[in-house]
């Protein structure tokens, strides 16, 4: 028998399967990476030798204001090991520079103080100027240009008006932007909802290049790069984290060089070959990334890439924050079928993209081809079933349900962390 630990919330669920039925175990090799120092030392070393050759302290000279774009509560970015060093170097270059931390909430709900204290620590929350971006507050945002797609590029005024704009972040595979990090701190990070929806239109999401680990030819990525350039994003500190969410590599400096180098580095550890199976078991990497169903579509896309047509996808996710979006929930709850919903989505023009449309478009794509079983907390049962999926109270029950669909001799592919891998056909 083969034994596995599948992340779910703050715990790991036990899974045991017969050896002969497991045809693939897809895991990143991040765990094999040997860190060359502490998390702080790794970040400081990257900042000491930035891509592009210009240090943050040099960029700060002569600038009156600086905005540091920071990740929000949905991202496991180890900000405590990044932001203090960015603040320190900025003030070394210019002791009088006026710094604002801008929380990049994108299209998510606003971060609350408790979440910011957990992310940054009390000292930063108590002593630094912090603004939480609100994509729905039109008065707080300003148009700075037009994207290649034709959508207006509208960003937070705190970013647009800064003399120096920099950001932190982390790089991971992303299910339609290719990778997180870099240019994503601008779009969708600090963009107005109109810009986010224009970029996340049905045509772009439907592109075969809008997939995990793909940048070249990806229409969303093209818009995101353009937005970052229009916003004059000058410098980033992006990290790669391991399964324990610890920094194992860092990339600092020019936003485009540093990010691309980080993506290439990560690909070498995350790329895995698909092993088609009747049943695929995955997760969204545990808390905080499995806090809602909206986020968990990401983990499902890894399973989607390695599950046979009609095969079952099992995802383990606590969903402590529920669905993560009313639009996402209602679209799936109220549709006649996933196919009917998809047909409707593909008719929506770019300028009329609806909130959460991209997420239920991808969820629909998955459901058209695969039954999905959620292993989650009991309170989620009704919601999961309303959204055209199946609920299981534990992994054993989920496996039993999946076998009833695909047979007792069904094959399995196990992806312990669905957002840590880039599955290639």
74 pLDDT tier (thresholds 50, 70, 90): confident
Rounded CA gap, 2 and 276, in Å?
A: 18
Token pair of 265 as six digits = 């580095």
Of the candidates 73, 81, 133, 174, the residue annotated as catalytic is 174
Percent with pLDDT over 90 in the chain: 91
Across 339-361, average pLDDT: 96
Q: Can you say whether residue 109 is alpha, beta or left, with left for phi > 0 and alpha for psi between -120 and 50 degrees? A: beta
Q: Provide the pLDDT for residue 242.
A: 85
Among 101, 192, 97, 99, which Cα is nearest to 147's? 192
Q: At 91, which helix (H) or strand (E)? A: helix 83-93
Instruction: Collect all residues with Cβ–Cβ distance below 8 Å to 94 and sequence separation of at least 6.
Output: 57, 60, 61, 62, 63
Q: Provide the pLDDT for residue 36.
A: 82
Q: Provide the pLDDT for residue 108.
A: 81
Q: Provide the pLDDT for residue 112.
A: 86
Across 20-48, average pLDDT: 93
Q: Provide the pLDDT for residue 30.
A: 82
Clarify whether 133 is annotated catalytic: no
> Residue 340, exposed/middle/buried by CB under 10 A (0-12, 13-18, 19+)?
exposed
Of the candidates 81, 108, 221, 259, the residue annotated as catalytic is 108
Q: Provide the pLDDT for residue 12.
A: 96
109 pLDDT tier (thresholds 50, 70, 90): confident
Mean pLDDT of the chain: 96
34 pLDDT tier (thresholds 50, 70, 90): confident
58 pLDDT tier (thresholds 50, 70, 90): very high
126-155 in b/e burial notation, b at 16+ Cβ within 10 A? eeeebbbbbbeeeebbbebeebebebebbb
Q: Provide the pLDDT for residue 138.
A: 95
Instruction: Collect all residues with Cβ–Cβ distance below 8 Å to 244 and sequence separation of at least 6.
Output: none
Instruction: Collect all residues with Cβ–Cβ distance below 8 Å to 228 and sequence separation of at least 6.
Output: 182, 183, 185, 186, 187, 255, 256
Tell me the backbone φ, ψ of residue 278, rounded to 5 degrees.
-75, -35
pTM of the model: 0.90
Sign of CA dihedral 153, 158, 164, 165: negative
Higher pLDDT, residue 127 or 109: 127
Rounded CA gap, 86 and 245, in Å?
A: 20
pLDDT, tens digit, for every residue of 199-247?
999 999 999 999 999 999 999 999 999 999 999 999 999 999 987 889 9
| Domain edges within the chain | 2-26+274-424, 32-269
pLDDT at residue 6 tops 90? yes
Q: May I ask the CATH architecture of the domain 32-269?
A: 3-Layer(aba) Sandwich (3.40)
Q: At 363, which helix (H) or strand (E)? A: helix 357-369
Residue ranges of alpha helices (H) inside 200-320 are: 202-205, 219-230, 255-270, 293-304
Clarify whether 108 is annotated catalytic: yes
pLDDT at residue 95 tops 80? yes
**Domain 2-26+274-424: which topology?**
2-enoyl-CoA Hydratase; Chain A, domain 1 (3.90.226)
pLDDT, tens digit, for every residue of 141-165?
999 999 999 999 999 999 999 999 9
pLDDT, tens digit, for every residue of 357-414?
999 999 999 999 999 999 999 999 999 999 999 999 999 999 999 999 999 999 999 9
pLDDT at residue 333 tops 80? yes
Compute the residue count for the chain.
425
């Amino acid at each position: 028998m083969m034994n596995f630990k599948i992340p779910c919330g703050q715990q790991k669920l036990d899974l045991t399967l017969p050896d002969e039925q497991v045809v693939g175990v897809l895991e990143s090799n991040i765990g094999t990476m040997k860190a060359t120092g502490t998390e702080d030392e790794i970040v400081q070393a990257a900042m000491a030798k930035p891509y592009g050759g210009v240090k943050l302290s040099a960029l700060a000279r002569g600038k009156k204001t600086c905005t540091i774009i920071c990740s929000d509560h949905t991202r496991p970015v180890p900000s405590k090991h990044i932001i203090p060093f960015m603040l320190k170097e900025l003030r070394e270059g210019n002791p009088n520079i006026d710094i604002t931390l801008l929380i990049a909430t994108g299209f998510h709900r606003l971060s609350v103080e408790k979440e910011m204290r957990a992310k940054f620590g009390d000292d930063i929350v108590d002593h630094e100027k912090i603004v939480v971006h609100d994509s729905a507050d039109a008065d707080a945002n300003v148009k700075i240009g037009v994207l290649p797609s034709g959508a207006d590029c509208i960003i937070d005024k705190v970013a647009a008006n800064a003399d120096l704009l920099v950001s932190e972040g982390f790089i991971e595979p992303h299910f339609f932007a290719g990778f997180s990090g870099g240019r994503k701190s601008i779009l969708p990070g600090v963009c107005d909802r109109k810009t986010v929806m224009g970029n996340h239109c049905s045509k772009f999401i439907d592109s075969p290049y809008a997939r995990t680990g793909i940048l070249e030819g990806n229409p969303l990525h093209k818009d995101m790069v353009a937005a970052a350039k229009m916003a004059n994003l000058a410098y980033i500190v992006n990290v790669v984290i391991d399964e324990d969410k610890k920094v194992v590599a860092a990339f600092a400096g020019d936003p485009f060089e540093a990010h691309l180098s980080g993506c290439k580095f990560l690909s070498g550890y995350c790329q895995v070959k698909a092993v088609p199976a009747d049943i695929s078991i995955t997760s969204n990497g545990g808390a905080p990334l499995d806090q809602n169903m909206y986020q968990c579509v990401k983990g499902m896309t890894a399973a989607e890439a390695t599950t046979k047509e009609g095969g079952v996808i099992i995802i383990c996710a606590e969903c402590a924050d529920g669905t993560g979006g009313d639009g996402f929930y209602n679209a799936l709850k109220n549709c006649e079928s996933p196919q009917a919903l998809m047909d409707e989505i593909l008719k929506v023009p770019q300028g009329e993209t609806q909130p959460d449309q991209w997420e239920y478009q991808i969820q629909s794509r998955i459901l058209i081809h695969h039954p999905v079983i959620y292993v989650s907390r009991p309170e989620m049962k009704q919601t999961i079933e309303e959204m055209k999926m199946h609920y299981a109270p534990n992994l054993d029950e989920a496996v039993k349900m999946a076998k009833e669909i695909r047979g007792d001799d069904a094959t399995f592919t196990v992806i312990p962390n669905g957002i840590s891998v880039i599955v290639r056909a």
